[in-house]
Amino acid sequence: MKNMLLTLSNTKRKLVLGGAVAALSLLVSPILQAQPYSDNWNDGNDTSPAWSHFGNSTYSSWTFPINPADSSYAYRIQSATPSGPMAGSFFTSQPNQANFTMSVDLIDWNADSGVSRQVFGLMGRANPSAPQIPTGYGLMVRQPSGGPGAMSLQINRMGADVGGVLALTNSGFLTPPTPAGDYTLVFTATGTTLKGQIFDKATGLAMQLQNGFDYLSVTDPYPGAYTTGAYGVGGFLVNVTPVDVTFDNFVIVPEPSALALGALGLAGLFWAGRRGRLSRSGRQA
């Protein structure tokens, strides 16, 4: 269990998403079957709407610091060294989802990789009650021991059958995220296809990865692909070092559609995916 951990973190498009959530509520609800669910934690709690904690309650904490970007409350998840393997929260006030587009702002984390080598971000199709560790998929930022240059974005499979957290695909960054910035993680699941991006809120653009693209995309090759489940945020300990990550502005849109993505300002996710498929097949985009 000690070497399995990765980090995932995200998204900074606070201005974009702040308005987008409101726009989404207005636009999507009357038009689409897919109703978005969200929490900005501005009421300073995780009980309304309801989240369920995963982690050792003795060594983990769920608190509500101020997000400097808009002076609202955010959501900080911490787990101390003796805890493990994970601390997180699952959004339990809405039904489980199969297909989704999910996003959350990543506004802060413990960037001292000599102290905290963590993997943090979004989780989907999860079973929080699975033994030892939640099963499901994650879009996460990994902060290993090598410092910022070794950070990567990962789409993970979680579960005891893969030893905890396994990167199905991952890539380093051309310019790694830092806690001084704000980012937005965007995670999409459609059938067996999982896609992930991290946007820099300072530019509104998806961050460029060392894989040559600005996104990750993968199909789970393992037996027993997860088809539905809970969704949430959290972090995994790496080599029993502490988790410390702060999120804000969580949104999930069931059954992703072009309209919903457009309302979120996320149409680029699918555009990028289309370009990637063309490139891989050798055609010109």
Binding stretches for Ca ion (CB under 5 A): 40-43, 45, 48, 72, 248
Shortest distance in whole angstroms from residue 246 CB to Ca ion: 10
Shortest distance in whole angstroms from residue 141 CB to Ca ion: 20
**Other beta carbons within 10 Å of 114:** 8
Shortest distance in whole angstroms from residue 70 CB to Ca ion: 7
**DSSP category for residue 276:** H
Q: Find the residue with minimal CB distance to Ca ion.
A: 72
User: E strands, 9-163, where?
Assistant: 37-39, 51-54, 60-63, 66-67, 72-73, 75-79, 86-91, 100-109, 118-127, 135-142, 152-159
Residue 95's φ and ψ, nearest 5 degrees, are -65, 160
Shortest distance in whole angstroms from residue 181 CB to Ca ion: 17
Q: Which is nearer to Ca ion, 4 or 21 (CB)?
A: 21
Q: Which is nearer to Ca ion, 182 or 248 (CB)?
A: 248
Shortest distance in whole angstroms from residue 284 CB to Ca ion: 43
Asked if 188 contacts 100 with a C-beta cutoff of 8 angstroms, the reply is yes
Q: Which is nearer to Ca ion, 45 or 56 (CB)?
A: 45
Residue 133's φ and ψ, nearest 5 degrees, are -155, 145
DSSP 181-233: S-EEEEEEEETTEEEEEEEETTTTEEPPBTTSSSSEEEE--SSS----BEEEE
Q: Which is nearer to Ca ion, 78 or 83 (CB)?
A: 78
Q: Which is nearer to Ca ion, 6 or 20 (CB)?
A: 20
Shortest distance in whole angstroms from residue 17 CB to Ca ion: 11
Q: Which is nearer to Ca ion, 37 or 41 (CB)?
A: 41
Rounded to an integer, what is the distance from CA 249 to the centroid of its chain?
12
DSSP 27-49: HHHHH-S---EEE--TTS-SBTT
Shortest distance in whole angstroms from residue 74 CB to Ca ion: 5
Q: Which is nearer to Ca ion, 3 or 47 (CB)?
A: 47
**DSSP 3-state assignment of 16?**
helix
Structure tokens at 40: 């900005």
